[in-house]
Chains A and B, each alone.
Chain A
Amino acid sequence: DAKTTQPTSMDCAEGRAANLPCNHSTISGNEYVYWYRQIHSQGPQYIIHGLKNNETNEMASLIITEDRKSSTLILPHATLRDTAVYYCIVRVRGNYQLIWGAGTKLIIKP
Protein backbone atom coordinates (compact mmCIF):
# COMPACT_ATOMS: atom_id res chain seq x y z
CA ASP A 1 0.00 0.00 0.00
CA ALA A 2 1.10 3.51 -0.72
CA LYS A 3 2.29 5.65 2.18
CA THR A 4 1.85 9.37 2.63
CA THR A 5 4.30 11.92 4.03
CA GLN A 6 3.22 15.28 5.43
CA PRO A 7 4.96 18.12 7.28
CA THR A 8 4.45 17.88 11.01
CA SER A 9 3.13 21.40 11.41
CA MET A 10 2.38 24.61 9.54
CA ASP A 11 1.24 28.12 10.35
CA CYS A 12 -0.98 30.33 8.22
CA ALA A 13 -2.34 33.83 8.70
CA GLU A 14 -6.08 34.25 8.99
CA GLY A 15 -7.66 35.20 5.68
CA ARG A 16 -4.79 33.82 3.62
CA ALA A 17 -4.78 30.60 1.63
CA ALA A 18 -3.44 27.58 3.48
CA ASN A 19 -1.56 25.15 1.25
CA LEU A 20 -0.94 21.74 2.78
CA PRO A 21 1.39 19.42 0.86
CA CYS A 22 1.39 15.63 0.82
CA ASN A 23 3.82 13.22 -0.77
CA HIS A 24 2.53 9.85 -1.96
CA SER A 25 5.27 8.81 -4.35
CA THR A 26 4.34 5.10 -4.32
CA ILE A 27 0.66 5.59 -5.12
CA SER A 28 -0.78 3.20 -7.66
CA GLY A 29 -3.36 3.78 -10.38
CA ASN A 30 -6.37 2.54 -8.40
CA GLU A 31 -5.62 4.50 -5.22
CA TYR A 32 -7.47 7.67 -4.35
CA VAL A 33 -6.14 10.58 -2.31
CA TYR A 34 -8.39 11.69 0.55
CA TRP A 35 -8.10 14.53 3.01
CA TYR A 36 -9.70 14.58 6.43
CA ARG A 37 -9.21 16.98 9.29
CA GLN A 38 -9.58 16.56 13.02
CA ILE A 39 -10.33 19.52 15.21
CA HIS A 40 -9.24 19.05 18.81
CA SER A 41 -11.45 16.65 20.75
CA GLN A 42 -13.65 15.88 17.75
CA GLY A 43 -13.88 13.03 15.27
CA PRO A 44 -12.22 13.35 11.85
CA GLN A 45 -14.16 15.24 9.19
CA TYR A 46 -14.08 14.47 5.48
CA ILE A 47 -12.82 17.34 3.33
CA ILE A 48 -12.25 16.19 -0.23
CA HIS A 49 -10.88 13.37 -2.37
CA GLY A 50 -9.59 12.81 -5.89
CA LEU A 51 -8.03 10.29 -8.23
CA LYS A 52 -6.09 12.25 -10.82
CA ASN A 53 -8.04 15.38 -11.66
CA ASN A 54 -8.06 18.49 -9.52
CA GLU A 55 -11.14 18.76 -7.36
CA THR A 56 -12.95 21.63 -5.64
CA ASN A 57 -15.82 21.74 -3.19
CA GLU A 58 -17.23 24.25 -0.72
CA MET A 59 -14.47 23.51 1.79
CA ALA A 60 -11.28 23.20 -0.23
CA SER A 61 -9.45 22.46 -3.45
CA LEU A 62 -7.26 19.46 -4.12
CA ILE A 63 -4.44 19.75 -6.61
CA ILE A 64 -2.86 16.45 -7.70
CA THR A 65 0.34 16.51 -9.74
CA GLU A 66 0.26 14.92 -13.16
CA ASP A 67 2.44 12.01 -12.02
CA ARG A 68 0.17 11.63 -8.95
CA LYS A 69 3.16 11.46 -6.63
CA SER A 70 2.09 14.45 -4.59
CA SER A 71 -0.89 16.63 -3.88
CA THR A 72 -1.78 19.90 -2.18
CA LEU A 73 -4.86 20.72 -0.19
CA ILE A 74 -5.81 24.37 -0.44
CA LEU A 75 -8.06 26.16 2.04
CA PRO A 76 -8.67 29.39 0.11
CA HIS A 77 -9.43 31.78 2.99
CA ALA A 78 -8.33 30.24 6.26
CA THR A 79 -10.19 31.12 9.45
CA LEU A 80 -9.33 30.43 13.07
CA ARG A 81 -11.81 27.54 12.98
CA ASP A 82 -9.63 25.80 10.42
CA THR A 83 -7.00 25.13 13.10
CA ALA A 84 -6.82 21.32 13.14
CA VAL A 85 -4.75 18.28 12.24
CA TYR A 86 -5.08 17.56 8.52
CA TYR A 87 -4.62 13.99 7.36
CA CYS A 88 -3.62 13.00 3.85
CA ILE A 89 -4.89 9.50 3.14
CA VAL A 90 -4.63 6.96 0.37
CA ARG A 91 -7.42 4.48 -0.26
CA VAL A 92 -7.66 1.66 -2.72
CA ARG A 93 -10.93 1.78 -4.66
CA GLY A 94 -13.25 -0.85 -3.26
CA ASN A 95 -11.20 -1.29 -0.08
CA TYR A 96 -12.32 -0.24 3.37
CA GLN A 97 -8.85 0.50 4.58
CA LEU A 98 -7.68 4.10 4.72
CA ILE A 99 -3.88 4.47 4.82
CA TRP A 100 -3.52 7.52 7.05
CA GLY A 101 -0.55 9.85 7.03
CA ALA A 102 0.80 11.17 10.33
CA GLY A 103 -1.04 14.46 9.80
CA THR A 104 -0.12 18.13 9.63
CA LYS A 105 -1.05 20.34 12.54
CA LEU A 106 -2.25 23.56 10.92
CA ILE A 107 -2.39 26.60 13.14
CA ILE A 108 -4.23 29.64 11.84
CA LYS A 109 -2.97 32.84 13.44
CA PRO A 110 -4.93 36.11 13.75
Chain B
Amino acid sequence: DTEVTQTPKHLVMGMTNKKSLKCEQHMGHRAMYWYKQKAKKPPELMFVYSYEKLSINESVPSRFSPECPNSSLLNLHLHALQPEDSALYLCASSQDPAGVRTGELFFGEGSRLTVL
Protein backbone atom coordinates (compact mmCIF):
# COMPACT_ATOMS: atom_id res chain seq x y z
CA ASP B 1 0.00 0.00 0.00
CA THR B 2 1.71 3.17 -1.21
CA GLU B 3 -1.24 5.47 -0.75
CA VAL B 4 -1.98 8.51 1.31
CA THR B 5 -5.73 8.82 1.69
CA GLN B 6 -7.41 12.14 2.37
CA THR B 7 -11.01 12.80 3.31
CA PRO B 8 -13.16 14.55 2.41
CA LYS B 9 -12.20 15.30 -1.20
CA HIS B 10 -14.33 18.43 -1.18
CA LEU B 11 -15.51 20.57 1.72
CA VAL B 12 -17.61 23.73 1.77
CA MET B 13 -17.87 25.56 5.06
CA GLY B 14 -19.01 28.85 6.48
CA MET B 15 -16.75 31.17 8.42
CA THR B 16 -18.31 30.14 11.72
CA ASN B 17 -18.14 26.38 11.14
CA LYS B 18 -15.77 23.87 12.68
CA LYS B 19 -14.63 21.06 10.42
CA SER B 20 -11.73 18.65 10.10
CA LEU B 21 -9.63 17.23 7.29
CA LYS B 22 -8.29 13.72 7.70
CA CYS B 23 -5.26 11.94 6.32
CA GLU B 24 -4.19 8.31 6.64
CA GLN B 25 -1.17 6.30 5.52
CA HIS B 26 -0.22 2.68 6.18
CA MET B 27 3.32 2.72 4.82
CA GLY B 28 4.92 2.93 8.26
CA HIS B 29 6.15 6.43 7.51
CA ARG B 30 7.19 8.44 10.55
CA ALA B 31 6.85 11.95 9.14
CA MET B 32 3.59 13.51 8.00
CA TYR B 33 2.95 16.91 6.47
CA TRP B 34 0.20 19.39 5.71
CA TYR B 35 0.57 21.62 2.67
CA LYS B 36 -1.69 24.35 1.32
CA GLN B 37 -1.91 24.95 -2.43
CA LYS B 38 -3.61 27.90 -4.10
CA ALA B 39 -4.54 27.77 -7.78
CA LYS B 40 -1.58 27.83 -10.20
CA LYS B 41 0.93 27.98 -7.32
CA PRO B 42 3.25 25.37 -5.82
CA PRO B 43 2.34 23.80 -2.47
CA GLU B 44 3.29 25.69 0.68
CA LEU B 45 4.36 23.81 3.80
CA MET B 46 2.13 24.35 6.85
CA PHE B 47 3.03 21.70 9.44
CA VAL B 48 5.38 18.76 9.90
CA TYR B 49 4.94 15.91 12.36
CA SER B 50 7.88 13.69 13.12
CA TYR B 51 7.29 10.58 15.23
CA GLU B 52 3.85 11.97 16.09
CA LYS B 53 5.23 15.21 17.48
CA LEU B 54 4.80 18.59 15.86
CA SER B 55 8.25 19.61 14.66
CA ILE B 56 7.49 22.47 12.27
CA ASN B 57 4.75 25.09 12.22
CA GLU B 58 5.34 27.52 9.38
CA SER B 59 3.70 30.45 11.19
CA VAL B 60 0.25 29.14 10.37
CA PRO B 61 -2.71 31.04 11.92
CA SER B 62 -4.27 29.38 14.94
CA ARG B 63 -7.55 28.86 13.09
CA PHE B 64 -5.72 25.83 11.65
CA SER B 65 -5.00 23.23 14.32
CA PRO B 66 -3.13 20.03 13.43
CA GLU B 67 -3.36 16.78 15.34
CA CYS B 68 -1.53 13.48 15.00
CA PRO B 69 -3.45 10.83 17.01
CA ASN B 70 -1.10 8.02 15.98
CA SER B 71 1.60 7.24 13.45
CA SER B 72 -0.91 6.54 10.66
CA LEU B 73 -3.31 9.43 11.08
CA LEU B 74 -3.08 13.18 10.68
CA ASN B 75 -5.92 15.63 11.14
CA LEU B 76 -6.29 19.32 10.39
CA HIS B 77 -8.98 21.02 12.47
CA LEU B 78 -10.50 24.12 10.94
CA HIS B 79 -12.31 26.87 12.83
CA ALA B 80 -13.32 30.42 11.97
CA LEU B 81 -11.72 30.31 8.55
CA GLN B 82 -11.69 33.16 6.08
CA PRO B 83 -12.62 33.03 2.38
CA GLU B 84 -8.92 33.48 1.51
CA ASP B 85 -8.26 30.12 3.20
CA SER B 86 -10.04 28.43 0.30
CA ALA B 87 -7.43 26.16 -1.29
CA LEU B 88 -6.37 22.58 -1.91
CA TYR B 89 -4.99 21.06 1.30
CA LEU B 90 -2.50 18.31 0.69
CA CYS B 91 -1.28 15.70 3.14
CA ALA B 92 2.03 13.94 2.59
CA SER B 93 4.19 11.40 4.36
CA SER B 94 7.81 10.33 4.19
CA GLN B 95 9.72 7.36 5.50
CA ASP B 96 12.65 9.29 6.82
CA PRO B 97 11.63 12.04 9.24
CA ALA B 98 14.94 13.82 9.09
CA GLY B 99 15.00 13.68 5.33
CA VAL B 100 18.55 12.48 5.48
CA ARG B 101 18.16 9.72 2.96
CA THR B 102 15.76 10.15 0.08
CA GLY B 103 13.34 12.75 1.35
CA GLU B 104 10.74 11.41 -1.05
CA LEU B 105 7.26 12.58 -0.11
CA PHE B 106 4.11 10.64 -0.90
CA PHE B 107 1.16 12.98 -1.38
CA GLY B 108 -2.54 12.38 -1.09
CA GLU B 109 -4.93 13.74 -3.71
CA GLY B 110 -5.92 16.61 -1.46
CA SER B 111 -9.03 18.08 0.09
CA ARG B 112 -10.45 21.03 -1.82
CA LEU B 113 -11.77 23.52 0.71
CA THR B 114 -14.15 26.38 -0.06
CA VAL B 115 -14.90 28.90 2.67
CA LEU B 116 -18.02 30.98 2.12
Question: With A46-B105, A49-B104 as given contacts, are A96 and B42 in contact (CB-CB < 8 Å)?
Answer: no
Residue interface bits A30-47, CB-to-B below 8 A is 1, else 0: 001010100001111110
> For window 50-96 of chain B, which residues contact chain A by CB distance below 8 Å?
55-56, 90, 92
Interface size classification for chain B: 20 to 34
B22 to chain A, nearest CB (A): 15
- Write the residues of chain B forming the contact surface with A, with a CB cutoff of 8 angstroms: 4, 31, 33, 41-43, 45, 48, 55-56, 90, 92, 98-100, 102-110
Determine the chain B residues whose CB is within 8 A of the CB of A87 once the complex forms.
42
Question: With A41-B109, A96-B33, A96-B56 as given contacts, are A34 and B103 in contact (CB-CB < 8 Å)?
Answer: yes
**Bound CA–CA A41/B99 (angstroms):** 27
A-B CB contact pairs (8 Å), 6 listed = A43-B107, A46-B105, A49-B104, A96-B45, A96-B55, A97-B56
A60 to chain B, nearest CB (A): 14
Q: Does A80 reach chain B (CB closer than 8 Å)?
A: no
Main SS of the interface on chain A?
A: loop
The answer to whether A44 and B31 have CB atoms under 8 Å apart is no
Q: Does A93 reach chain B (CB closer than 8 Å)?
A: yes
* Interface residues in A, total, Cβ within 8 A: 22
The answer to whether A93 and B100 have CB atoms under 8 Å apart is yes
Q: Which 6 A-B pairs have the closest CB atoms?
A: A43-B107, A100-B42, A46-B104, A44-B107, A96-B48, A43-B109
The answer to whether B109 and A49 have CB atoms under 8 Å apart is no
Other 15 A-B pairs with CB < 8 A, given A43-B110, A45-B107? A32-B103, A43-B90, A43-B107, A44-B43, A44-B105, A44-B107, A49-B103, A49-B104, A96-B33, A96-B48, A96-B56, A96-B99, A100-B42, A102-B41, A102-B42
